[in-house]
Amino acid sequence: WIQHKKRVAMENLNGKGSSRDLARKYNIGTSGDHKQVIRVVNAYQKFGDAGLVVLPTPDSAIFDTDNYL
């Protein structure tokens, strides 16, 4: 998944497709959501490969305190 995001970011940064074109090409988000491509590109520009890793969020199961014993 990280390599897929990196490919999308690199294509955009190398001028091989707009965020809308790449969203459609790779079927990203609902009906080609180019904003998701923009987020991936921005994360890659700012943090490199580390920006493409998905970390748990407070609302994910790992932080589910309702089921904590």
Query: What CA–CA distance (Å, rounded) separates 40 from 19?
Result: 10
**Residue tagged 């987020």 (tokens):** 39
Q: Kindly report, residue by residue over 7-61, the tens digit of the pLDDT.
A: 999 999 999 999 999 999 988 876 667 888 999 999 999 999 999 887 555 554 4
Dihedral angle, C-alpha 60, 66, 68, 69, nearest 10 °: -170
User: The whole model's pTM is what?
Assistant: 0.72
pLDDT of 62 reads 45
pLDDT of 67 reads 46
Q: How confident is the model at residue 69 (pLDDT cuts 50, 70, 90)?
A: very low
**Residue tagged 């998905």 (tokens):** 54
